[in-house]
Amino acid sequence: MYVSHFRAIVIAGTNPEAGAPAEGRLISGDPKFRTWNVEEAEGGIYAGMWESTPGKWRIEYDEWEFCHILSGVSVVAEDGGEARTVRAGDSFVLRPGFKGTWEVVETTRKEYVVRV
């Protein structure tokens, strides 16, 4: 039996998981998340799409994440470092140990790959 090793990141017809910043991490606004996790693989690898409405919250990464912004505008600021504005077309990696803030200025949608 043939099993394809190709997986498109397609969210049409799937229901997203609803979420929000973890308790105690909200700084401002009332951000609401929608996550479409379309791939889970052995070794703690996840891929899909995430969206947030405007707001600002603290983030702390124990995992490695590749992000590609599809739409919107956000500001990702590392504690003790630079604040970076990201928008449609931008790609970046957040490495384990990253601590700072994520501020959604305009509703932002990204594709992601996470390795735990």
pLDDT digits (tens, 9 = 90+) for 2-15: 889 898 999 998 89
The answer to whether 10 and 16 are in contact (CB under 8 A) is no
Domains in the chain with CATH codes = 25-115 (2.60.120.10)
> pLDDT of 49-105, one tens digit each?
999 999 999 999 999 999 999 999 999 999 999 999 999 999 999 999 999 999 999
**pLDDT confidence band for 35 (50 / 70 / 90):** very high
What pLDDT, on the 0 to 100 scale, is given for residue 88?
98
